[in-house]
Structure 1
Amino acid sequence: MSERIVVGMSGGVDSSVAALLLKEQGYDVVGVFMKNWEEEDINGTCTAEEDWRDVRDVCDLIGIPYYSVNFAKEYWDRVFSYFLKEYRAGRTPNPDVLCNREIKFRAFLDFAMTLGATRMATGHFVRTNEAGQLLKGSDSNKDQSYFLYMVHAQQLKKAIFPVGGMTKEQVRKIAEDRGLPVSKKKDSTGVCFIGERNFKKFLSEYLPAQPGDMVSPEGEVVGRHDGLMYYTLGQRRGLGIGGRGDGRSWFVIGKDLEKNRLLVAQGEDHPMLYSTQSIAEDVTWVGDAPMKEGETITCTARYRYRQPDQPVEATLREGRLLLHSLVPQRAVTPGQSAVLYKDDVCLGGGIVTKVVDPGSADPDKQINY
């Protein structure tokens, strides 16, 4: 009897090709579609219906059984409640990293085991090895290890990533050559499982907005904001500041939560957008911790998805990561993840809580938050 592998299928081309490849390799493959959001769109249609239809069509074509499982409660309790809490605190959260840990590699993995699977599979562009290390995907432009740094080695040992060693172009060509109906389906964007929608309108349905002043570094009121939760560091679009200053674009450089003020400045290279030191908490490691308490290691870091690796010195102190970037970093954002690497190996990371003044030895002297 062949090994059973349950594939998490989203209705997209990556997970569809993952299921196809495993089937062609002789595995006993089962497709499972995760429905994690109950909301309907403005036309009264469940936003997951189209994806679920694509999953069924793909599974019928390649000849594997399929199921749908509802994790909406788990998603709300473990991911979305955190998402709202972070926005209330003025930060910009990345729910995808928590979604991977709590839903795909916990709730879904547990479900896969109830179906008699020995392993689960997804369409993530990452790789692993026998030691359970998380490795970057071969396609540097699509590598998703940044989003999986919270997944532990013991979970990764029960997972397989069939497209992790391919490029996106190779994946699409396989889908087209095999006649998969999703071969030309565009990649999904937006919040994990919530999808593409007017984010400002969506967020306003859950959190009350508190408009306030936009203020320059000199203290001049230059406009009004709709609510601090709608803005993130480095943002240029949507500020609506015109006819002021020297004609250069305005950018968000910080938030003053106490006074409900959005701090803005002109010029994409404004010095207050840059820092060399930050603090990350809620630290998790894929495997064993790469450093002991008080120890400093030299490695690389990413502060956002698709960012090239940045050289850093990382120190573990009282459970927090103190990160010293050897190159000034633009718009390091509280709420986002700082993920550490040694070459192709993803070590783990943490959630950025403070961005500190690069010219100060005091880690509590903040400029961006």
Structure 2
Amino acid sequence: MLAAGRRVACAVSGGVDSAVAALLLRRRGYQVTGVFMKNWDPLDEQGACSVDRDCEDAYRVCQKLDIPFHQVSYVKEYWNEVFSDLLKEYELGRTPNPDIVCNKHIKFNHFLHYAMDNLGADAIATGHYARTSLEDEEVFQQKHTKRPRELFRNRFEVRNTCPRPYVIRSCYLHHSGSVICKTPSRSRPVQRPDLLSESDLAGCFEENHFSFRGFNKKLRKEDSVRTWPSSRAKEKRGMSMGVCFIGERNFEKFLLEYLEPQPGNFVSIEDKKVMGTHKGWFLYTIGQRARLAGLQGAWFVVDKDVSTGDIFVAPSTDHPALFRDLLRTNRVHWIAEEPPAELVRDKMMECHFRFRHQMALVPCVLTLNQDGSVWVTLVKPARALTPGQFAVFYKGDECLGSGKILRLGPSVFTMQQGRNREEGTKKEDIDKVEPAT
């Protein structure tokens, strides 16, 4: 079997998803090695960190599968390239996505180099939820072609004759992720995009099921996966939660260990009345419920003003101040390394959008800017669009690419206020007109 000679390094976290990825690779006949990445030092801050227990769980999974186990530390790299960026984003008033930054710098850069250079792996794999368009053996047939570094690649250059690889949404709808696992040849340079590029995807397996082309939920429970020996067998070990590689935390307390408190006011978006105080705008994100002492009913964060420290709140979860239909990204990373032909030709293109992994896809129109960023106009307003999060674009099931959300258009509430003022002004003008004699 061709798979028998292929070495795959599988990132194992101690959770079910990465364990099933390793299990399926093993069943396919690949020579699998489990690798646990330690990316956070529990001694860096007070409080518990689950990294040691996670490592023990990962080791037991590898024992169960009878595959080699390795542990590697990227604590310094994670701090410098992921966590520092997270803190800067919070200071700017945004809500960062550390998982995407971690994929970019740790999993598909440092871990990739380690697997290829130290373990002699032909491929790496993870338990992410997404699919690629390639069959197993097509992964190893891809040839890397060096391309010029331009804003957009020359559309007429000769492409690889192998099938074009692209990312497909997961069949498991509750976990439709973006990029998963990649297996470039030793000669291929490592790209470092927010999402992997087409040339990177030339060596990608797809999530937990590879050539099955669909997520088999029954298979996840086979061989008593959920009851494998574990130091926390009775705890929730289904999926990795919390901050990437840091784990579940009291997030407010955790952030205040690294960022100075920035006291400010909660302000009603409707009448500008002060409703309470907070310790820092970075502790709250748009759409989050605000804890306002002494008030009945739920209030929700709808906007933030970093210059004043004010956090604007509204008295319902579906308040029009939470809904917007326009946003702008930074320069979009396209998986094909260039914008779609339709977008380049017409400067506009219809597609679908989401910025949360379990969010329903929303039809939208992209408008391409000269710097590679895009304006995104949604067909209908979406709730709690958030600067710092990544807008991901799709055509059908294919993931086209993503860009970080940097600016938001006016909310539905702001637009309503503008129309009301305009109508009031018109009425005043009519009242001032003298009657004809």
* Contact 2:16–2:226, Cα closer than 8 Å, also in 1: no
Match for residue 22 of structure 1 among 12, 22, 25? 25
1:301 partner amino acid: F
Call closer, same or farther: CA 1:44–1:268 in 2, change over 3 Å. Answer: closer
Report the equivalent of 2:106: 103
- Alpha-carbon distance in 2 for matches of 1:198, 1:286: 35
Match for residue 73 of structure 1 among 69, 73, 76? 76
- SS of 1:151's equivalent? coil
- Alpha-carbon distance in 1 for matches of 2:397, 2:344: 21
Report the equivalent of 1:122: 126
Report the equivalent of 1:13: 16
- Alpha-carbon distance in 2 for matches of 1:216, 1:44: 35
CA deviation after TM superposition for structure 1 residue 292, in Å:
2.0
**Is the counterpart of residue 296 in structure 1 residue 348 in structure 2?**
yes
* Contact 2:320–2:412, Cα closer than 8 Å, also in 1: no
- Alpha-carbon distance in 1 for matches of 2:293, 2:380: 31
Report the equivalent of 2:362: 310
Call closer, same or farther: CA 1:171–1:209 in 2, change over 3 Å. Answer: farther
Match for residue 212 of structure 1 among 233, 251, 264? 264
CA deviation after TM superposition for structure 1 residue 178, in Å:
9.6
* Contact 1:36–1:72, Cα closer than 8 Å, also in 2: yes
Larger proportion of strand: 1
1:1-369 equivalence runs, <5 A: 2-40=5-43, 47-114=50-117, 115-130=119-134, 131-145=164-178, 150-164=195-209, 165-167=213-215, 169-176=217-224, 180-181=228-229, 185-217=237-269, 218-236=271-289, 238-243=290-295, 248-287=297-336, 288-290=338-340, 291-292=343-344, 295-317=347-369, 318-357=371-410
Call closer, same or farther: CA 1:293–1:349 in 2, change over 3 Å. Answer: farther
* Contact 1:61–1:180, Cα closer than 8 Å, also in 2: yes
Select the structure of larger CA radius of gyration. Answer: 2
1:91 partner amino acid: R
How many corresponding residue pairs? Answer: 358
CA deviation after TM superposition for structure 1 residue 168, in Å:
7.2
- Alpha-carbon distance in 1 for matches of 2:38, 2:304: 35
Larger proportion of helix: 2
* Contact 1:241–1:250, Cα closer than 8 Å, also in 2: no
- SS of 1:159's equivalent? coil
Give the alignment's Cα RMSD to 1 decimal.
2.6
Normalized against structure 2, the TM-score is what?
0.76
Call closer, same or farther: CA 1:55–1:258 in 2, change over 3 Å. Answer: same
* Contact 1:17–1:174, Cα closer than 8 Å, also in 2: no
CA deviation after TM superposition for structure 1 residue 175, in Å:
4.4
Stretch of structure 1 that moved more, 142-151 or 215-224: 142-151
- SS of 2:302's equivalent? strand
CA deviation after TM superposition for structure 1 residue 41, in Å:
8.9
Stretch of structure 1 that moved more, 130-139 or 40-49: 40-49
Cα offsets for 1:327-355 (capped at 9, x unmatched): 11111011111100011111111111111
- Alpha-carbon distance in 2 for matches of 1:294, 1:72: 46
1:128 partner amino acid: T
CA deviation after TM superposition for structure 1 residue 153, in Å:
2.4
- SS of 2:175's equivalent? coil
Normalized against structure 1, the TM-score is what?
0.90
Call closer, same or farther: CA 1:162–1:172 in 2, change over 3 Å. Answer: same
CA deviation after TM superposition for structure 1 residue 43, in Å:
8.6
* Contact 2:180–2:206, Cα closer than 8 Å, also in 1: no
* Contact 2:36–2:70, Cα closer than 8 Å, also in 1: yes
List gaps (5 residues or longer) in structure 1: none
- SS of 1:278's equivalent? strand
2:222 partner amino acid: I
Cα offsets for 1:133-156 (capped at 9, x unmatched): 111111001121289961222223
- SS of 1:189's equivalent? coil
